[in-house]
Structure 1
Amino acid sequence: MTANLPLSGIRVADFTRVLTGPFCTMLLGDLGADVIKIEPPGGDDTRGWGPPFQESEHGRESSYFLSVNRNKRSVELDLKTPEGMDAARKLIAGSDVLVENFRPGTLERLGLGWEALSAVHPRLIYASISGFGQTGPYRDRAGYDVIAQGMGGMMSYNGEVGGPPLRVGVAVADVFAGSLITQAILAALFQRERTGRGERVDVNLLESVIALGSSQVGRYLATGEIPVPVGNDHRSIVPYGTVACGDGFVNIAVGNDALWRRFCAALELTELGADPRFATNEGRVNSRAELDSLMLGGLARFTRQEIMERLELAGVPCGPVNNMAEVFADPHVQARGVAVEVEHASLGHTTVTSPPWDIGGQTLPVRRAPPTLGQHTAEILGELEG
C-alpha cells in the first residue's frame, strides 16, 4: 500500500513544532510523504505538555504530542552547531518540501530562508506558517491559537447568548491553518509538475480564523451587523441546534419547512405543526424564543434514544451529543476503524486516530507511530551520508 500512496517518493523537511505545522506534516505523512521531523535538543515543545502522559517502564510521551505526529521520523539536530547546520542543509537538499513555523525572519538569519534556498534548490517548495504573516505591523508577534481566535473575532460570536467571549474547545486556528497550508503545498506540488519550479506558500493563524468565520464574516461585510453569540442555535435556521430531552441532549437540523412538518409529526407536536406562526422558517426564526419554550415541554417526555429513533425514521437529520467515551464506543466509529493501535518505540504500543481519508476505496494506513525524540537520527544521517 505504501508505494501506492499519493505522495510516495516526496520528502518533507519538517522544521515545525507545537500544533499547526505538525498537523500539516502529519497529513502529508498520511498521504505517503517521508516526513522527517527536525527537532532541537530537548525536542518539540509539546513533548513536555502534560499531563496527561502515556507511560511505560521504558519512557513516557505526551498525549498532545502523540495526537499530531504519526507517520513521521524524528532526527535531533542542534542548528546552533556547524554539524547540525550541515546535516540540515543536506536534508533540505534531498527534500521536495520544507515546512517551518518559526517567527518570520528566524530561518533567514540562519541562512535557511526562502530566497537563499530557492536560489540553490529551485524545485523546493517552501511552506511558512506564522501568527500574522510575513508582512504587516504584527509580523514579529508570536502566534498562538487563543490569540488568533480572539483577534480574528471568533471568540466574540462563540458561546452562550449574553455570555462572555468563549474560545472554541479545540485549537481550531491551528488545525484550520494546518489544513490550509497542506492544501497550498499540494497545489504547489501540482504546479511544479507543470513548471519544474518550486514556490513559497504562506499561511497565518489570524487570517485563517477570519476565513473560518465564513457566514459570520459574510453577514458582517454585507450588513455591518456585528455577530454575537447564539449558543448552539443557528442565526438563520430554526430549529437547528441542541435540544434537551428526558435524559440528555440531541442535535437536530430542521433545514426546511417540509422537514419541520415531519419533525412535528414524528414527535407528536401536533399543535406546533398546525400553528401558522411556525409554518415557515422565517416565522420560526422571528418567533425563536416562544418556539423553543413550547418545544421544551414537548420533548421532555422522550429519551434521547426515542427521539433519535423517531426522527431517523422520519428522515429528519439528528444525532446525539456524545462525550468522548461515547464517540469511541459508537458502532459506526468502531466499524470505520477510527482508533488504531500501533507499536511504539518506548511505550510498546499506543492508540492514535487513523488518517481521515479514503483514497481509491482504501483507508490510508498509520505506517509509523509518533516517534520518540531523535529515534531516527542515526538512520537519517546515514542516509544523508550515503
Structure 2
Amino acid sequence: MMEQEINITDKKSDNYGQALQDVRVLDLTRVVAGPYGGSILGDFGADVIKIEVPGKGDDARGYGPYRNGESMYYANLNRNKRGITLNLKSEEGKEIFKKLVAKADVLLENYRPGVMDKLGLGYDVLKEINPRLIYAACSGFGSYGRYSQRPGYDIISQGMGGLMSITGIPGGEPTRSGNAMGDILGGMNMVMGVLMALHARERTGLGQRVDVSLVDSVVSSLENAYIRYFDSQEIPKRNGNAYASIAPYDTYHAKDGFVIIACGNQKLYEKFCRLIDREDMITDERFLTVPLRVKNNLLQKAEIEKWTSERTVKEIVDIILGAGIPAGPIYDVRQITEDEHISDDREMFIDIEHPVIGPMKVNGNPIKLMDMKPRINRPAPTLGQDNVSIYRDVLDYSEDEIKHLKEKAVI
C-alpha cells in the first residue's frame, strides 16, 4: 500500500506490520484539527487519501513558514497521506467521490454541519453506498444543537470552552493557550471516535457517524474546573502557573530563570520541606493540608523562593530530582529540540525529505504501540500529486480518462 519509507521507528515492528495498514481513509479536512487527526491515522499505516479542491487545495497551503514556495505548516500536518484533487461541486466529481467511498473504511471532514448534505454527499447518502463507512465529522459546535451552524475556529473553542477564562496571570486578561489546543484536542477526539467505531464495526458489521465538537473537546479537557464550580458555585479564576487542587505545584524563581516543583502528595511535600531545611512548613498551620496549601499558595511560594532564588535552575532540578521529588526546567522550543530524551529517545522530531521543500523535520507521534510503532512513510503530498496513481489503481480509470477529467477541471 505504501511507498518507500522515510523513517522506521523500530525495525522489529516489521514483524507485525502497522496497526491500521488495512484501513483506507478519505480525508476531506482542512487547516488543523482534521488534518492532525488524519496524520495520526497515517502514522500507524492507514492509507490516507487527502482530497483537495483543484487549483487551490487546503487553506493551510497558504500558511507560513514557506520553503521553496511550499508551506511547511501544511507539510507537518499532512505527512503520511496521498493527495488528489476533486471538484465535489461538479456532478462528475460527486460520482467519482461516491466510487471512492465504496472502497473506503473511513471518511474525515470538518466542514460546517450541513455542507456535505447540500452537496448530496451526506452520511445518509454515503451509508447506502457503503454501509461499513465510518463517517467522522469535526466542527466548532457539533452537528446538532442550537449553535451547530456557527462557524468555529480554535480561538473560539478556547474562549467558549472555558480554557481562556482560567489561563493567564491572576487578575489579568483571558489568555489563549500558545498552541491551537482546541483544534488538537478535536483532532485527537476524532481519531478516538474513529478507532472506537472501527472496533464496533467488527462486532456489528456496520459503520456509523462520529460527531466531534471543538468546544466540547475543550470543555471536557478542563476536568476539575467544573467540578469545583458545581461544588462551591464559585467561578474558577486565572491562577497563573499554580494548580487549583494541589500545592506546592507551581513555577518558582531561580537565580537564572524559573523552575517547576510539583509535590503531588503529603509524603512528597514533607520530603521536600526537609530537603530545603524548612521542616517548619510541615507543621505550620497555614500549610498543614493540601487545601490549606492551595489557599495559602502565594504565602508559601514566597517562602520556597527564598531557597530557589539562591540557586540555578539546573542546581534546583538536580537536587530535587535526586531526592525523588518531581521537578523540571521550563524549556523553550530550541531547548526541547535539543533534549536528547524528547528529540532522540522518544523520536518526537523526524527528519524527512519533501519533494519541494527538501530536508525538513516534522513532529513525531506521541502514541507508541511498542510492537507497531508509528512511522513517517511519506511526506505531505503536493497538490494533486497522486491523481494518476489513485484514479488509475483504485478506480481503474485510464490515462486518457484522467487527462479528460483534468481538462474539465473535475480533478
Q: Which range moved further: 335-344 or 199-208?
A: 335-344
Give matches, 1:244-255, under 5 Å. Answer: 244-255=253-264
Deviations 1:155-187 (A, max 9, x none): 111111011111111111111111111111111
Q: Which amino acid letter does the alignment assign opposite residue 369 of structure 1?
A: P
Q: Which amino acid letter does the alignment assign opposite residue 282 of structure 1?
A: P
Alignment partner of 1:345 is 2:345: no
Measure, in 1, the Cα distance between the counterparts of 2:234 and 2:44.
42
Measure, in 2, the Cα distance between the counterparts of 1:243 and 1:193.
51
1:109, CA displacement in angstroms?
A: 1.2
Measure, in 2, the Cα distance between the counterparts of 1:200 and 1:362.
27
2:98 touches 2:126 (CA, 8 Å); kept in 1? no
1:90 touches 1:384 (CA, 8 Å); kept in 2? no
Q: 1:175 to 1:282 in 2, by over 3 A?
A: same
Give matches, 1:1-386, under 5 Å. Answer: 1=13, 4-41=17-54, 42-50=56-64, 52-53=65-66, 55-56=67-68, 60-269=69-278, 271-273=280-282, 275-333=284-342, 334-361=344-371, 363-386=373-396
| TM-score normalised by the chain length of structure 1 | 0.94
1:360, CA displacement in angstroms?
A: 3.2
Matched residue pairs, number? Answer: 381
Q: Which range moved further: 300-309 or 258-267?
A: 258-267
Q: Which stretches in structure 2 are left out of the alignment for 5+ residues? A: 1-12, 397-411
Q: 1:335 to 1:136 in 2, by over 3 A?
A: closer
Measure, in 2, the Cα distance between the counterparts of 1:6 and 1:272.
51
1:267 touches 1:310 (CA, 8 Å); kept in 2? no
1:224, CA displacement in angstroms?
A: 1.7
Higher relative contact order (CA 8 A, sep 6+): 2
1:257 touches 1:279 (CA, 8 Å); kept in 2? no
Deviations 1:257-279 (A, max 9, x none): 22122212333445545645334
Measure, in 2, the Cα distance between the counterparts of 1:189 and 1:288.
47
SS in 2 for 1:241: strand
- Give 4+ residue runs of structure 1 displaced > 6 Å after superposition: none
Measure, in 1, the Cα distance between the counterparts of 2:139 and 2:356.
32
Deviations 1:126-151 (A, max 9, x none): 11111111222222111101111111
Q: 1:204 to 1:283 in 2, by over 3 A?
A: closer
Measure, in 2, the Cα distance between the counterparts of 1:257 and 1:377.
61
1:366, CA displacement in angstroms?
A: 0.6
Q: Which stretches in structure 1 are left out of the alignment for 5+ residues? A: none
SS in 2 for 1:328: helix
SS in 2 for 1:250: strand
Measure, in 2, the Cα distance between the counterparts of 1:281 and 1:109.
55
Deviations 1:21-65 (A, max 9, x none): 111111111121100000112110011012x22x13xxx322321
1:250 touches 1:320 (CA, 8 Å); kept in 2? yes
Identity across matched positions, percent: 41
1:72 touches 1:370 (CA, 8 Å); kept in 2? yes
Q: Which amino acid letter does the alignment assign opposite residue 144 of structure 2?
A: T
SS in 1 for 2:259: strand
Measure, in 2, the Cα distance between the counterparts of 1:283 and 1:89.
62
Measure, in 2, the Cα distance between the counterparts of 1:120 and 1:273.
68
1:246, CA displacement in angstroms?
A: 0.5
Deviations 1:66-123 (A, max 9, x none): 2211111111112223342232222111101111111111111111101111122111
1:319, CA displacement in angstroms?
A: 0.9
Across the aligned residues of Structure 1 and Structure 2, the Cα RMSD in angstroms comes to: 1.7
SS in 1 for 2:116: helix
Q: Which amino acid letter does the alignment assign opposite residue 355 of structure 1?
A: N
Deviations 1:261-301 (A, max 9, x none): 22123334455456453343233223222211222222111
| TM-score normalised by the chain length of structure 2 | 0.89
Q: 1:82 to 1:66 in 2, by over 3 A?
A: same
